Amino acid sequence: MNGARRAVAFLTPFGGAAEPSRDAVMWFPTVGVVLGLGLGGLWWLAAEAWSPLVAAALVVAADLAVTGLLHADGLVDTADGLLPHLDRDRRLEVMSAPDAGAFGVWVAVAVFALRWGALATMRPSPFLLAGLWCASRTAMAVTMTRVPYARPAGGLATAFGPGGNEPVIALGVPAALLLAAGWRPVIGPLAVLWGMAAAAGIVLLARRRLGGFTGDVLGAAGVMGETVGLVVAAARW
């Protein structure tokens, strides 16, 4: 359970101060399930009391709160670093800067507008969010065990992997598919697969332009995976 606490501490503002360790990575999918179920429960309760637009906004705000804005910050920094025409060293420098540029701001606006709009057009489902949030954390875990770290001096995320937990982490994929299937048997898993493909696309872009991943890239991949999954789920199938 020490690994579980370290995973919670890395992915959320909860869990207290904890040093990163390799045994925490296998808990990433589980943390995603817990977060997704909690947010899905809030979505369902909020929809009973408010309009779909307000309920969706509450879920988006709650997600930002329970993740401590960590992943949102990663999204902004990654957009600022990967999208402009810069050399590799300058990209890493921009991503480590505390300020936000135009690329990051507008990408964040577009992404969170899409999340809000998608949630507002669907009936609440804890199963859907549990599946998508499990898939996003699984994508993070796989990235940490398979992709090199981009910064030469290392960083916080490097302490998590590779740790030989790949078979356990791989269970996050079927778990995410099964959870999403509890919402809609075909569309739910399809949304999960599209979400994981989007997360992989962010990592591949970082691999090409940075030489690997950073903590910011992990956050951006997770947010984009969830967002694409929500948009696919909200389509008029």
Task: Give the pLDDT of residue 153.
Answer: 64
For the cut 70, the answer to whether the pLDDT of residue 24 exceeds it is yes
Q: In terms of DSSP H, where are the helices of the chain?
A: 2-11, 28-49, 52-66, 70-82, 88-96, 102-120, 126-146, 166-170, 172-181, 187-210, 215-234
For the cut 90, the answer to whether the pLDDT of residue 237 exceeds it is no
CA atoms of 77 and 71, how far apart (whole Å): 10
pLDDT tens profile 144-153: 888 999 987 6
Q: Give residue 38's pLDDT band: very low, low, confident or very high (50, 70, 90).
A: very high
CA atoms of 140 and 133, how far apart (whole Å): 11
Q: Give residue 22's pLDDT band: very low, low, confident or very high (50, 70, 90).
A: confident
Task: Give the pLDDT of residue 210.
Answer: 96
Number of structural domains in the chain: 1
pLDDT tens profile 193-212: 999 999 999 999 999 999 99
Range of the domain at 201: 2-234
Stretch 70-80: mean pLDDT? 96
Q: Give residue 105's pLDDT band: very low, low, confident or very high (50, 70, 90).
A: very high
> pLDDT: is 166 or 124 the higher one?
124
pLDDT tens profile 132-190: 999 999 999 999 888 999 987 655 555 555 555 566 677 899 999 999 999 999 999 99
Task: Give the pLDDT of residue 26.
Answer: 87
> pLDDT: is 94 or 9 the higher one?
94
Q: What predicted TM-score, i.e. pTM, was given to this entire model?
A: 0.93
CA atoms of 132 and 33, how far apart (whole Å): 8
